[in-house]
Structure 1
Amino acid sequence: MSCNKKTRYLFVILSLVFTTRVHAAEVNITSYGAIGNGVTLNTAAIQRAIDDCAKNNGGKVIFPEGRFLSGTIVLKSNVTLLLRKDAVLLASTDLNDYQNLDPFVEGLGTPVGWALIAAVDVMNVGIEGEGMIDGQGAAVKAKQILTDNRPEGQRWGRRPFLLRVVRCNGVKISGVSLLYSAAWTSHYFQSRNISISNIKLLSVGVAHNDGIDIDGCQDVDIKNSDIESGDDALCFKTTSSKMPCSNVLISGMRLKSNQGAIKMGTESMAAFEHIKIANCYIYDTKNGGIKLLSVDGAHLHDIGISDITMVEVRTPILIRLGSRLSIFRKGEDIRQQTGTLEDVTIRNVKAKAADNAQLMPPSGILITGIPGHNIKNLKLENIAIQLAGGGNIENSRQVVPEAIDQYPEVKTFGPVIPAYGIWARHVEGLKLYNISFTIGGNDMRPVFVCEDGKDIELNGWTVPKTTKTEAIIRLEHVTAAVIMHVDAKSSDAASFVRVEGSSGVPVKLVENSLVQGVPNVTIVN
């Protein structure tokens, strides 16, 4: 290309950029008649501002100081909502003010999809600023029940989400506070190139207050945000089999939840893959710190979770491959075959488990596939968990239900787990490196129980002092296990490893430290 041609080409590009910037609109909703008194319904005025902004090559729709009441507003391509400091977008308490632009059925079978802010099949949209979006969830529910006498399990789905993003490309949410949704707070479905940063999300007071739901999305970056939610805080879903959750980076999150803090599933039809989560602080969480669940056919693989601190969390980790096989978009999907869960690494986790848990006495980590479908190549490394203890000999022989087609929850496997540290069933290639537990009181359950396992490796464990236990480790129907460098010299037991239901000696022991006189292996066939 000649110099003159290059110059002309550069001029054209710069002219296009300049023209786009010049014509990018910045419109104030008050110019369209919006009134920020918290009483006047501004849906039409806000929508006119958005529509005009979109017609003028996009730009920013400004919310100044005030409380702007609204029903459903629909974002258009190239439009960003800018909420100034002390600006509040306030959700109407009248359900008739909301639209459902993409109906679907959530994991418990309830029709959902109404929303305060909706973006459907558009590109380059966003919400930013120092202002707030307030869903008035408790007030919405109180008004709803005056005319809707259905049970709450059916009724809640008619209440609006705070934000729904559907099949969009280029989404940026930054700085804003998302408050008190009447249902899920933010739901992103089959969208790409999503950036969420420096937001505050506080959504409690009514049922199903999920925080961030990433549903079949790709190229997602979520960082440096604070979530306190009544339901799952950071939740990955695939309610459709047509698009996986993939290429996701999560970092720098503070998470508090009345359910799970970090969760994949339960809605799990398409894959969860290439997901990295790091440097998160989880606290005061009632139903699981990390929960990885594939129960509707999903292939959950290539997941890395690291550098996680948990404080007062009921049951730090649950990993489940099941066969519920639900469908969430009737007429668009067919029932899947049982999925897979493999190639997952969780490392560098420090957890203080809550003394009062879903399962009593508490347990640290639950891992279970189903018969014929093993969890494969799971690696847990550098894990330290503090537990209450308190298990007795009867607890150590608790039979855990398979619950093959059930909703996957910690309590599904209750009332008691037979290991206080890690319980694993239907696993293959399980690697457990540098694991340590501390307990507040004696626990007569094994620190580790594996049922139906193959190629199991324990390396570098530190086991707390316990007394009157049948075994420190129990292997049932396990083949090819290696146990090395386990420090159990302060734990008194009838046996270090008890092997049941296996022919021969399927376990190799290497340089373990034990109480003098404790037998290495007891085999019971």
Structure 2
Amino acid sequence: MKFKKRILLMLFVLVQSTAVFAKDYKASFFHIKSDGATMNTRSIQFAIDHISKNGGGRLVFYVGRYLTGSIHMKSNVTLHLEEGAVLLGSTNPFDYDRIGNTALIHARDLENVGITGKGMIDGQGRALANNSIAYANDGLIEDILKYDRTRESIRPMVIYWVGCTNVNIKDVILQNSACWLQTYERCKNLVIDHITVNNVAFWNSDGIDIVDCDNVVITNNNIDAADDGICLKSHNEKFYCNNILIENNIVRTSANGIKLGTAGKGGFRNIKIINNTVYNTYRSAIALQSVDGGFLEDIVVDGLKSTNTGNVIFLRLGERVVGKKSTMDRISIKNVVADVPFGKADAGYDYEGPIEDMPRNISPIIIAGLPGQYINNVTFSNFEVTYPGAGNKFLAYVALDKLDSIPEVPDGYPEFSMFKEVPAWGIYVRHAKNINFSNIKLKADKKDYRLPIVMDDVQGAELKKVTFEQIDQKKLLHTYKSTNVTVK
């Protein structure tokens, strides 16, 4: 409760601070053209500079299409797009500035900045990305063209804001980035509320990326992305994501719905993920990953509806940097209703997840630490999970007395599919301590050769009111190299 009060107070202060700079300036006053053809970059930049120098305010765009290349925000300025207004990114890669990363709208070390209104920002990402590839092929852009696409740092995002305080992104429609749509790095007091994200124009197209930020509210948003929907990252071991509320969002992706980690050099602390819906999502609804030497602790997931999603919960410790040990501690996940499909959850979308990463014999819930490096203090309660069953032992049958043959892959990129087929159809736990499950209902629709739950090297676990439905199976649990595991 104290956490939520603090976040709400921060939101109130942010709204009040932006209200001080509420003078409106019409875009047309600066001769910014709405014909969709005139390049307005210099005119929009002049307007932003003018408003900032004169005490701040809103640059208001009315109905029309406003073409631009990279622009740079200034303190105390908000871009406000009325319904029917479209800020249109250029399709020419040379119209974009690169400062760390390439973006349409840059901001760095500012305060009281935002983008509001019911209008739209369209990055025209598919055409922009393809033009970037064409220039690279002609030698005009230097790039290795890995996977037949230019690298992320030179494919323009729509928003890239670094080191900003009091940031308000509200109501707008953001779409069609050539890369990650919006990245906020080392920002403080950030609100993203009631926005619509449609970011399926190209590869690596996350919906929202939060990097080493403090005091963040992400609420009431509708996100459709070809890559991770809401992704928290930590790029610097001196910083970490802290005090973040992710609530009442609807997410669809061809990767993970809500993910913490990759990268995770610093860490994640005090994250609340409340009452979210994830659907038609290829990978995990919730992925909590600490694999780059950082920490991940004090995380609460309360209220999740996961529909037609390849994996429900994935917790992973890794060691992608030799000698840097990661930690995961104090995780609470409760009030979850989920179903897992038999086929590809994102089949039919323009950019689907790769078929080679879709093992058939998976588990809705995977908790995977490393030998001697345990995931600690995890509580699951009030779950209803429906799994299709029909696991095929001829794909990759793992005998219960040969669980050591499952690869550890400590340096592997963390995804629920990284172990391929796993030996439990419901819950697979490996290298963990103090794990508690209560009021869990598991159902396999069709016959499956595996048990509902397998625990491998689990030191201390309690299962209370854990029930399952499975054809021709009466045994709930198999333990291996585990101690103090009790079923009540």
Residue identity opposite 2:422 in structure 1 = I
Residue identity opposite 1:373 in structure 2 = Q
The aligned residue for residue 140 of structure 2 is none
The aligned residue for residue 311 of structure 1 is 307
Deviant stretches of 4+, over 6 Å:
none
Cα deviation for residue 393 of structure 1 reads 5.5
Deviations 1:237-284, CA, capped at 9 Å, x for gaps:
001112110101111100000100010011001120001011111110
Aligned to 1:144, which of 132, 140, 151?
Answer: 132
1:402 aligns with 2:408: yes
Trace 1:308-347 onto structure 2 (pairs within 5 A): 308-325=304-321, 337-347=324-334
Counterpart-to-counterpart distance in 2, 1:114 and 1:135: 12
Residue identity opposite 2:205 in structure 1 = N
Deviations 1:352-381, CA, capped at 9 Å, x for gaps:
112125221342111101111000001111
The aligned residue for residue 150 of structure 2 is 155
Q: Summarize the Cα distance change of 1:336–1:350 in structure 2 as closer, same or farther, 3 Å threshold.
A: same
Deviations 1:76-123, CA, capped at 9 Å, x for gaps:
10100010111100001111111122x2xxxxxxxxx11101110000
Cα deviation for residue 205 of structure 1 reads 2.3
1:465 aligns with 2:460: no
Cα deviation for residue 396 of structure 1 reads 4.8
Aligned to 2:262, which of 255, 259, 266?
Answer: 266
Cα deviation for residue 152 of structure 1 reads 4.4
Cα deviation for residue 142 of structure 1 reads 2.2
TM-score by structure 1 length?
0.82
Residue identity opposite 1:475 in structure 2 = T
Q: Please tell me whether the aligned partners of residues 284 and 311 of structure 2 are also in contact (alpha carbons under 8 angstroms).
A: yes
1:440 aligns with 2:445: yes
Cα deviation for residue 30 of structure 1 reads 2.1
Counterpart-to-counterpart distance in 2, 1:218 and 1:247: 6
Cα deviation for residue 336 of structure 1 reads 7.1
Cα deviation for residue 24 of structure 1 reads 5.5
Residue identity opposite 1:147 in structure 2 = Y
Aligned to 1:37, which of 30, 35, 38?
Answer: 35
Q: Summarize the Cα distance change of 1:40–1:55 in structure 2 as closer, same or farther, 3 Å threshold.
A: same
Aligned to 1:231, which of 224, 227, 240?
Answer: 227
Deviations 1:488-521, CA, capped at 9 Å, x for gaps:
xxxxxxxxxxxxxxxxxxxxxxxxxxxxxxxxxx
Counterpart-to-counterpart distance in 2, 1:38 and 1:463: 58
Counterpart-to-counterpart distance in 2, 1:242 and 1:98: 30
- SS of the equivalent of 2:126 reads helix
Aligned to 2:417, which of 389, 411, 416?
Answer: 411
Trace 1:68-83 onto structure 2 (pairs within 5 A): 68-83=66-81
Counterpart-to-counterpart distance in 2, 1:433 and 1:168: 42
The aligned residue for residue 94 of structure 2 is 96
Counterpart-to-counterpart distance in 1, 2:36 and 2:46: 19
The aligned residue for residue 474 of structure 1 is 478
Aligned to 1:349, which of 331, 336, 345?
Answer: 336
Cα deviation for residue 468 of structure 1 reads 6.2
Structure 1: gaps of 5 or more residues: 1-16, 104-112, 326-334, 485-525
Cα deviation for residue 413 of structure 1 reads 1.1
Aligned to 1:170, which of 159, 166, 189?
Answer: 166
1:277 aligns with 2:282: no
Q: Please tell me whether the aligned partners of residues 363 and 422 of structure 2 are also in contact (alpha carbons under 8 angstroms).
A: yes
Q: Which has the higher contact order (CA 8 A, sep 6+)?
A: 2
Deviations 1:436-489, CA, capped at 9 Å, x for gaps:
1111111120111111110111110111133268x53110000111111xxxxx
Deviations 1:38-76, CA, capped at 9 Å, x for gaps:
111111000000000000110101112111111111111
Cα deviation for residue 209 of structure 1 reads 0.6
Aligned length: 444
Q: Please tell me whether the aligned partners of residues 180 and 205 of structure 1 are also in contact (alpha carbons under 8 angstroms).
A: yes
The aligned residue for residue 384 of structure 1 is 384
Identity of matched residues, %:
35
Counterpart-to-counterpart distance in 2, 1:306 and 1:472: 25
Deviations 1:149-200, CA, capped at 9 Å, x for gaps:
3434461421101111100010000010001111001101001000111100
Counterpart-to-counterpart distance in 1, 2:228 and 2:243: 21
TM-score by structure 2 length?
0.88
